[in-house]
Amino acid sequence: MGTAIIGAGNVGARLARGLVSGGERIVIATRNEAQGQALVEELGSLASFASVADAIAESDTVIFAVWLDTIHEMVKQYADVLPGKIVVDASNPLAADGKGGFRRTLPEGESSGRLVAGLVPQGAYFVKAFGTLGAESLSADANREPERAVLFYATDDAAAESTIESLISAIGFTPLKAGGVAVSGRIEVGGDLHQFGGLNGRVVGLAQAKEALAGAS
């Protein structure tokens, strides 16, 4: 069993390419079947396509790389098959504003990570990860030399830590835990540990990341 990626947009497609490049087996699920099938053909034998229900059932880890409101719907819809899975939320509290930009969808001080974690059924393991950098940086800054860039994650579930750190390493980054779900806001857009927040557009190495992590939220 491998990793399901729900969504094949800017984030999902980059994660799929990064994980396959890192030798991980993935299954892609997307409402746009043609888009998903095209990505699978590009990626080769380590990737396959399935419905959302089948992708979740076939996988140990499920990465929701879709908009926050879609995650909200899907977590409730597939609650019966999520127990026992590692559920990864890659969202940010953003939506298109209709003017070519984005708007925040949650009040200040609230995080998408805490919201999704509250929806995940008992028996599933929740992790906030992969949304702490802009989509372009997930590919452009992968496997950076001489020092890999850091990708933060947050979880309360120790059982999920080794898996998420392995996946972050597979896509070419150094994993660093920011804390539990309560600090999810720090690694979302606008947070002090997000590329487009307190890091002011920077993609940082381990020493800088630890310094930022130690700072006030």
Average pLDDT, the chain: 93
What Å distances lie between residue 171 and 81, 128, 160, 188, 199, CA to CA?
26, 16, 17, 19, 21
pTM of the model: 0.94
Tokens of 44: 């080769």
Residue 61: which of 10, 126, 131, 147 has the closest Cα? 126
- Please give the pLDDT value at position 98: 75
Beta strands at 2-6 and 59-64: parallel, antiparallel or unpaired:
parallel
Collapse the DSSP code of 165 into the 3-class scheme (helix H, G, I; strand E, B; otherwise coil) and give the result: helix
- Mean pLDDT across 113-131: 95
Kindly give, in sequence order, each residue whose CB lies less than 8 Å from that of residue 120, ignoring residues fewer than 6 positions away: 75, 82, 87, 126
Q: Look at residue 95 and tell me whether its pLDDT is greater than 80.
A: no
CA dist 122 and 144 (Å) reads: 38
Neighbour tally for 96: CB within 10 Å: 10
- Please give the pLDDT value at position 99: 75
Split at pLDDT 50, 70, 90, the class of 85 is very high
H/E segment holding residue 91: none
Q: Look at residue 187 and tell me whether its pLDDT is greater than 90.
A: yes
Backbone phi and psi for residue 86, each to the nearest 5 degrees, phi listed first: -90, 120
What Å distances lie between residue 98 and 10, 12, 92, 101, 103, CA to CA?
18, 22, 17, 7, 9
